[in-house]
Every structure is written in C-alpha cells, then in structure tokens.
Amino acid sequence: MMVMQRASARDYQVTQTEFTDALQMTETEEEAHELLKHHLERSIPGASAVTLNRNNSADRLEAFTASPPGPLAENIVEAKPRDCLVVRLARAHVDEAKSSALVRCSLCGEMEGFSACTPLLVSGEVIGSVFVNGPRAIIDADLGRIKDSVTQAAPVLANLRNLAIAELRAATDALTGLPNARAVQDILNRLVAQASRMVWPLTAVLFDLDHFKQINDAFGHPKGDEVLAAVGATLLSIMRESDFGGRYGGEEFVMLLPAADLEVGVQVAERVRAAIADIQLFEEGRAVTASFGVAMFPDHASDGARLIRNADRALYQAKANGRNRVEVFSMASNADGSQNVLQSEPA
C-alpha cells in the first residue's frame, strides 16, 4: 500500500508539474482555459470540465470552453455572475444529482452525476469558476487535484486577460471604438496575405470627411468628436461581419473588404456615404459628408501599402470632383500624368 501511495504521489507530482510548465507557455487566455480543461479531464477519469469566465462589464458569466449538452449548456446562455453559487460565495461547492441539499446552484444543480465547482480566485476577486462533472463520486484526491490546478491557473488567466485588454486598448481608437492606424496596418498585412493564399480579391475603401476643419472651427472640437464617433458607429452598423473598419487618422477612415470585388466595394462605399449624409448633429441643418476612394488587390496593387496608396489617390480625385462621392482607382493615366478613375455619382 505504501508503494502504491508513493507511486500515486509521484504520478500526481509529474502531471501537475507538466501542467504548470505548459501553463507558463500559453500565450492567450483561450489557450490557457483549454489547457486547464484538458488537464482536469485527463486527470479525473470520465469527467468533463467547463471553465466559466466572469465578464463584469457585461454582467455576464460565460462558458470559455465547450459545455456538454445538458442543463449547464442551456442555463449559461443568459447567466449572470450571481447565478453561479460558487462565484457568489467565493468558495468551492460539491453536489450530487437529486441530493437533498438546502441550496442548489441555479446553473448546474440539475446536472446528472457528481459535480464539483471551484472559483478562480485572484487577490480575493472571483474572475470565474471551473465546473467538473462525472458519473462517479468525486473523491478527496480529485478535489485536491482540482483545487491545486485552479489555484495554479488563476493568476496566469488573470495576467493573460489583462494583457489582452491592454493590447486591445493600444490598438483601439478611444473616440470611435474602431481599430486605430496601428491595428489597421497589422490587419491589412494579414488580409493581403490571406487574399494571396485564397486567390480572392481584397477591396480597400478609404474615406475622408469633407470640410471637417470647418466643423471644428465653427462648432468646436467637442462637436467634431461627436461627428467622428457617429461616423464610427455608422461604419460598424453597415459592414459585414467579415469586413474590417478602422480610423486611419484624423478624419480619415478605412474599410477592408475580403473576397469583395470592385462592384461590391463601390456598393458598400455608397451605403456608407449615404448613411453619413443622413447623420443629424447640427440644428442649422448642416450635413456631414465624406469622399471615398476604392482600390482592389491584386488588380490595382501588389501589396498592402500600394493598395492603400491607390485608394488614397482615388479619394483625392473624389475631393477634386466635388466631394461627397465615390471614385474607383484606375491604372490608366491621362496625358498630364494624373490617374483616371471610374466615378460613382451620389444616389
């Protein structure tokens, strides 16, 4: 018996050390959650594990890893943090199906078999929980494994979450909520590489608000900021889920449309142009308008930098042709060296 106990202890130490080492190599919160789930399911025969994330800003409790079919998967859809007994009490909870416990968790209390739920605690704050369910009774050794694993994972998960938030803030324009110029460049390179690999077009739409300086001079910068925020919201409401939009700088914005040809790019640009013209922010009836330039990879450019540059040329042609319009870049040149563009009249 002593030999068996020592062998079991060695096995426990080896697997926990392996888990700790792997945990330190994770680069994203998603990767760490999946690792914790896999480690617990590997260590506790027949068990399934689900990690839950506490989203304070949305007042939600969300499953970070896949939930098995059953009451938990159904209840977590609209769950709030206080619905989880463990999150509310900040201590572990063990349950058995059809038990006569005085208090049952509204999320997992109806699960079959045996369950153990453990809070993810960091500096006294509950950032989520880990739910383990299985057909056999969860013994003390299992509870010890769960507690040790969750204790090791919690600070790593918190650090990865904070890092992700910091990176998101660094890549986000605070005024519009859109990705900033730095993020635009990263996404542009990624989408150009994807378009080359998938052999599909990538259309870039660059647009600039007309006479924006006059708005700031006449109504003040707070009103100008309000206009920029409204344009950002308009952009988000029109783009497809696969599209990307960002603030390129000042009053200039960019849209990147994967697998979209020029015709689709012009249609999207026209919808955005019309929606911007409908923005009502001035009692005097002054309209907000924008000028648009459209270019497509690979027809108009061989890389991301040239794609944006050619969309910018079409944009300036739209400015020269009267503003509040969409122009498409063309490779043809006039005798004076200026670029021809296909024109799209305002609807």
**In this structure, CATH architecture of domain 181-344:** 2-Layer Sandwich (3.30)
DSSP state of 53: E
DSSP per-residue letters across 224-263? HHHHHHHHHHHHHHHS-TT-EEEEEETTEEEEEEET--HH
Looking at residue 343, what is its pLDDT?
Answer: 46
DSSP state of 172: B
pLDDT one-digit tens code per residue, 164-185: 888 888 899 989 999 999 999 9
Distance CA 306, CA 331 (A): 12
Q: Is 222 helix (H, G, I), strand (E, B) or coil?
A: helix
Q: Is the peptide bond before 298 cis (omega within 30 degrees of 0)?
A: yes
Residue tagged 């700031």 (tokens)? 216
Distance CA 91, CA 85 (A): 9
Provide the residue count of the chain.
347
Distance CA 284, CA 274 (A): 19
What residues are paired with 200 via a beta bridge?
none
Q: Is 295 helix (H, G, I), strand (E, B) or coil?
A: strand
Distance CA 313, CA 328 (A): 9
Instruction: Establish how many alpha carbons lie within 13 A of residue 271's alpha carbon, considering only the half-sphere containing its beta carbon.
Output: 13
Looking at residue 137, what is its pLDDT?
Answer: 86
Looking at residue 338, what is its pLDDT?
Answer: 47
Residue ranges per domain, the chain? 2-170, 181-344
Q: Is 283 helix (H, G, I), strand (E, B) or coil?
A: coil
Per-residue pLDDT of the chain (347 residues; tens, 9 = 90+): 777 778 777 888 899 999 999 999 999 999 999 999 999 999 998 999 999 999 988 899 999 998 888 889 999 988 999 999 999 999 999 988 777 777 888 888 888 899 999 999 999 999 999 999 998 888 888 999 999 999 999 999 999 999 988 888 889 998 999 999 999 999 999 999 999 999 999 999 999 999 999 999 988 999 999 999 999 999 999 998 889 999 998 999 999 999 999 999 999 999 999 999 999 887 766 789 999 999 999 999 999 999 999 999 999 999 999 999 999 998 764 434 344 444 444 43
Tokens read off for 236: 């988000």
Q: Is 344 helix (H, G, I), strand (E, B) or coil?
A: strand
Distance CA 90, CA 125 (A): 8
Distance CA 26, CA 20 (A): 10
**In this structure, CATH architecture of domain 2-170:** 2-Layer Sandwich (3.30)
